[in-house]
Amino acid sequence: MTDASAAEPPAAELRVWGISGLPEITPGDHLPRLVADAARRAGVEPGDILAVTSKIVSKAEGRIVHAADREQAITDETVRVVATRARADGGTTRIVENRLGLVMAAAGVDASNTADGTVLLLPLDPDASAAAIRAAVEACVGTPVGVVITDTAGRAWREGQTDIVIGASGVRLLDDLRGSRDAAGKLLEVTAPAVGDEIAAAADLVKGKASGIPVAAVRGLARLLDDDAPGARSLVRPHADDMFSIGSREAYEDGYRAGFSAHAPEDRDRVEE
Amino acid sequence: MTDASAAEPPAAELRVWGISGLPEITPGDHLPRLVADAARRAGVEPGDILAVTSKIVSKAEGRIVHAADREQAITDETVRVVATRARADGGTTRIVENRLGLVMAAAGVDASNTADGTVLLLPLDPDASAAAIRAAVEACVGTPVGVVITDTAGRAWREGQTDIVIGASGVRLLDDLRGSRDAAGKLLEVTAPAVGDEIAAAADLVKGKASGIPVAAVRGLARLLDDDAPGARSLVRPHADDMFSIGSREAYEDGYRAGFSAHAPEDRDRVEE
């Protein structure tokens, strides 16, 4: 049987609610069990998707470093520098690709909602964390359940931040409509809604930043549950395919140096000697 | 009284549902009245937010051009070319800033869900369209109601598309938390969730691309309703502030030319000696 789900009608209704009752998470806590208990008490059922803020995953994993080591932590998490800009406070904002493939300010190293003098690193393997939480929740409330791990990210071209998916288990994140037809019968050639990020965004509307509610449940998207769905890296565009793989100023400066050298091959030879 | 709403707890629950029963929209239709009637029948109440797909606004406004004129239409809608790339079919994909300030492929000119041989331009003034729909809905179901006009856009760094807000009336789109405190009592210095885009994303999960459901209602975000909220351009980052204001290749080429020229005067000197 071919996968016909992309052409299914979308959910008629979505319900998104915050899951309260989780204790303050500290290193070593068994997060999957704590989330599963809270999810059961909050009425989570098979077919639901849980959106878990990465912060509590990081805390349970003990991914905490001293704030004094923040700049070094950002460097350690960095695979590739995408853009930098001097801040008014004398520091430098670094937009980088981190080891998860995510392009984020400060590599996703976060100083909010942590104890004074500390910063939080992103979870080591968010897909694995999502799978562990999913297994615990399914054991508790029944199967299937989907889990996404979310974090907050800025965007090019637009103000403000939205939540995105950085880890996932059991959820189709890209609702690939290429090959299916719209209501007028036309082929939807280039359309692939990033439903994973849309779920993260919807969940953020009930979790909020100032509330301390770190988990939300989403009901009405059982069509996206898929045991074989790939992890969160499937939403990362490889930087070779990306028209915005480095900042405009950085690209300009690279080009300037290349143009300058190209005009003066003798100079370049001299430098290389 | 200062605005304390940014520090309010987020909605405990969100309900998002598709509004069916709208007729196929054609040029000249009184869209506000049609949406208001459908909203009333779908149980929309004061405090709710409607997310309206831009496509039906464009159709009602008659923003339809012949497909043969598509490339010219993209040019006409373009304020600034951001990046271009050759396609396999011999054409060129143009990522541009359009007259609404939005950075979009093909300036937002759309060939899906339209009659054969035609393409759709974005609405002329989506904030005004949102205001007109809002007035009609409020007259029908009571006040206050919020309205956002949504469209689908690609992103830098990430695969797939998400829906964003391109027009709005009566909804705070940026939930500026700067100055408020997190659950640990720390200042949230740089956090400003783009709740408008998160609403658009949540609505897309029930509207879908293949379904023909062009309007969704969102309940549970009455805290974001605000008569004085600015329009959708408030989510547009001015390109002078944007670290990704032009494509990496375009910036490199600009730099290359500048570097090449900068070297040229010395060559001229040398020749003159």
What is the Cα gyration radius of chain B?
A: 22
- In terms of Cβ atoms closer than 10 Å to its own Cβ (0-12, 13-18, 19+), residue B90 is exposed
Contact A32, A132 (CB under 8 A): yes
Q: Which residues of B touch A264 (CB under 8 A)?
A: 263, 266-267
Residue A247 touches chain B, beta carbons under 8 Å = yes
Which chain B residue is nearest to residue A101, measuring alpha carbons?
Answer: B157
Tell the residue number behind the tokens 């390109």, with chain if given: B239
The mean per-residue pLDDT over the stretch A224-250 comes to: 96
- Show residues of chain A in contact with B207, CB under 8 Å: 10
User: What pLDDT is stored for residue A257 in this prediction?
Assistant: 96
Beta bridge partners of A33: none
Q: Cα–Cα distance between A193 and A117 in angstroms, integer? A: 40
A248 with B248: Cβ contact below 8 A: yes
More confident residue, A79 or B273: A79
β-pair partners for A95: A83, A105
Nearest to A242 among B157, B181, B243 (CB): B157
Query: Is the Cβ–Cβ distance between B187 and B147 less than 8 Å?
Result: no
- Domains for chain A: give ranges and CATH numbers: 13-63+123-242 (3.30.1330.100), 245-273 (no CATH)
Closest approach of A138 to chain B, Cα-based (Å): 23
A10 chain-B contacts, CB cut-off 8 A: 18, 205-208, 210-211, 213
With 0.80 as the threshold, say if the pTM is over it.
Answer: yes
Q: Does A204 touch chain B (CB under 8 A)?
A: yes
Nearest by CB to residue A204, choosing from B164, B193, B248, is B193
Neighbouring residues of B79: CB distance < 8 A, sequence distance ≥ 6: B96, B97, B98, B99, B101
pLDDT of residue B270: 52
Chain B environment of A180 (Cβ under 8 Å): 210
CB contact under 8 A, B247 and A243: yes
Q: Could you tell me if B103 and B80 are in contact, meaning their C-beta atoms sit under 8 angstroms apart? A: no
Query: Is the predicted pLDDT of residue A271 greater than 50, yes or no?
Result: no
- Per-residue pLDDT of chain B (273 residues), as tens digits, is 334 344 444 447 999 999 988 999 999 999 999 999 999 999 999 999 999 999 999 999 999 999 888 999 999 999 999 999 998 888 899 999 999 999 999 999 988 778 888 999 999 999 999 999 999 999 999 999 999 999 999 999 999 999 999 999 999 999 977 677 766 676 666 689 999 999 999 999 999 766 679 999 999 999 999 999 999 999 999 999 999 999 999 999 999 999 999 976 655 555 443
CA B123, CA B129: separation in Å to the nearest integer? 8
The nearest CA of chain B is from the CA of A13 a distance in Å of: 4
